[in-house]
Structure 1
């Protein structure tokens, strides 16, 4: 089954702590996974950042919300147990427990209100029924902004000349750590004179091996025949590695072909190209930087 929204974990997590024992986060994860009968694939699902599983993120935020309402307490770092208030809530045998119920507690209401933007009146019903955790909301907004930037970036590249695109490809590979320097890489561009090859770049700064490049600016798809042409040129040079980069896409036939051949050929389509440009800050600049911080547990350890 799909992973429940983080508010759905409130009541079962409180009920799990209702045995009045001290529990660790890992014990809570195991109990919630069993309670909702989540499959291994569900538990492995990652947030867009790829740094944390969606399941653990939602359980952790459910625990945090219950703690803000003083339904759970932490006698020591890394563990938790039910509080007297939490016992009172369970004694009432609630059928559900969500943000709107937690807001009856002043400590939680103060915390929840502080999370809204200053000077703005929150849509109460919408906030109470929010199903995503703060990280999920932030990452979704980030992915939307990044997607919009990627579309603009690819459109801009297609508006420029083929020569600009070839130089962009070399700059990107150098930015990624190949080729040593722009000067060294640029000297090879367009000079090899072999059909199907646009340039050569060093694989490392010492030039122990080289990578052959084909850069094709196009609107549509690149098929197997064009990849075969590039591979033939690589064989003519006794080359072992090649990169074919396009502003368009590759057909499935082309992708299947390169997975079965030697030399090794990497295909980079327009989507992956602009993703790499954003990752390596080529053709883009930072508008704002937001840091998400967490407690440094080691700092608080007493010797």
Structure 2
């Protein structure tokens, strides 16, 4: 049986943190897995080439989308809690929080626009024509290997990967090689990382 997409993790997550207490992401994995009735095999399933479980990944993205929508708020130390807006949503007794529902929140639209995934008129996403694309490609082709790597890692940070703007980092630089070699810190202490290599 396939593990549900992260959209189905949103409502169980906001219900879990609805008491107003501060939570860490790792503490939400088991309760949400219980609500979704995931099997032991599903809970242990890992992403390809990663030690990160698929359930953790789904929970991470559920939390990310709820946070950018203003329904959760981060606190010091890597924790988070429900926001006042989140409490209002919780009172609606929803069954599911899908993408369409989150489009009422400007923060979500802005996040999706940055990641290039939004066609909503309120996202103010400019239409890109082929001439614009050619200019971008030409500019990227003129980058040095180092600048190209910096650009890609900055782009990943900008669209929401990692726990902060400086959590997408490079490994030992290889200035003459056109490659992307780095990692994303998935928690504030940098204990859990996801490797990047192209």
TM-score (norm 1): 0.41
What is the rounded CA distance, in whole Å, between the counterparts of 2:36 and 2:116 in structure 1?
Answer: 31
Structure 2 unmatched runs, 5+: 118-125, 130-155, 157-176, 191-198
Give the 3-state SS of the residue equivalent to 1:297 in structure 2: coil
Contact 2:26 2:56 in 1 (8 A): no
Go from structure 1 to structure 2 and tell me whether the alpha carbon gap of 1:81 and 1:296 turns closer, same or farther (over 3 Å shift): closer
Look up the match of 2:87: 87
The residue correspondences of 1:63-78 to structure 2 (distance < 5 A) are 63-78=63-78
**How far apart, CA to CA, are the structure 1 residues paired with 2:12 and 2:37?**
13
Whole-angstrom distance in 2 between the partners of 1:20 and 1:298: 24
Partner of 1:297: 188
Superposed CA RMSD in Å reads 2.6
Distance (Å, rounded) in 2 between the aligned partners of 1:106 and 1:290: 33
**CA distance in structure 2 between the aligned counterparts of 1:46 and 1:296, rounded to whole angstroms:** 18
In the TM superposition, what is the alpha-carbon distance from 1:78 to its structure 2 partner?
2.3
Deviations 1:8-44 (A, max 9, x none): 1011111111122222222211111111121221111
Are the aligned partners of 2:78 and 2:187 in contact in 1 as well (CA < 8 Å)?
no
Normalising by structure 2, report the TM-score: 0.60
- Give the secondary structure class of the aligned counterpart of 1:86: helix
Counterpart position of 1:188: none
Q: Any idea what SS the aligned residue of 1:73 has?
A: strand
Alignment partner of 1:74: what SS? Answer: strand
- Structure 1's 109 and 3: CA in aligned 2 closer, same or farther, altered over 3 A? same
Partner residue in 2 for 1:37: 37
Give the aligned length. 136
| Counterpart for residue 54 of structure 2 | 54
What are the equivalent positions in structure 2 for 1:219-258 lying under 5 Å apart? Answer: none
Distance of 2:55 and 2:85 partners within structure 1: 26
CA contact (8 A) 2:23 2:81 kept: yes
3-state SS of 1:80 partner: strand
- 1:82 CA displacement: 0.7
Q: Residue 145 of structure 2 aligns with which residue?
A: none
Distance 1:44 1:68, change over 3 A: same
How far apart are 1:6 and its partner, in Å? Answer: 0.8
| Secondary structure of 1:23's aligned partner | coil
SS at match of 2:111: helix
The higher relative CO (CA closer than 8 Å, separation ≥ 6) is in 2
Distance 2:89 2:30 in 1: 23
> 2:98 — aligned with what?
98
The 1:296–1:20 alpha-carbon spacing in structure 2 relative to 1, beyond 3 Å, is: closer
Distance in 2, matches of 1:106 and 1:70, equals 9
SS at 2:19's partner residue? coil
Q: Who wins on radius of gyration, i.e. which is larger?
A: 1
Render the CA deviation track for 1:31-80: whole Å, top value 9, x for unaligned: 11111121221111111113311110111111111111110112222221
Distance 1:34 1:107 in 2: 30
Using the TM superposition, give the Cα deviation of residue 296 of structure 1 relative to its aligned residue in structure 2, in angstroms: 7.7
Aligned partners of 2:78 and 2:188 also within 8 Å: no
